Amino acid sequence: MPTDPFAAFAGALNDPARDAVAIAPHDTTPLAVLPRALFVGTGGTLVVRCVDSAADVTLKNVAGGQILDLRVSHVRATGTTAADIVALA
């Protein structure tokens, strides 16, 4: 394991991600871990629910390679055409 010179510092939301997990969009199952951002590998439309929201939002024309600074609880399958989505936590 490499040495981590930042291990003694508390993490903040604007710090770099420490974990990355591939997302399989699903209409009812929430994400296992709430991410600090999403990486979209292949562009398209993304239907998500933010952690403090009671409704879904549709993000159209999301570019491939884009990082979205959104904390989401769900990435819906219905309506999502973007692919290769990664949760950054």
Neighbouring C-beta atoms of residue 84, cutoff 10 Å? 13
33, 21 Cβ separation under 8 angstroms = yes
* Average of per-residue pLDDT across 70-83: 98
In DSSP terms, 59 is beta-bridged to 46
The per-residue pLDDT for range 55-76, each reduced to its tens digit, is 999 999 999 999 999 999 999 9
In DSSP terms, 27 is beta-bridged to none
89, 39 Cβ separation under 8 angstroms = no
* Average of per-residue pLDDT across 40-56: 98
Please report the pLDDT score of residue 4 as a whole number: 77
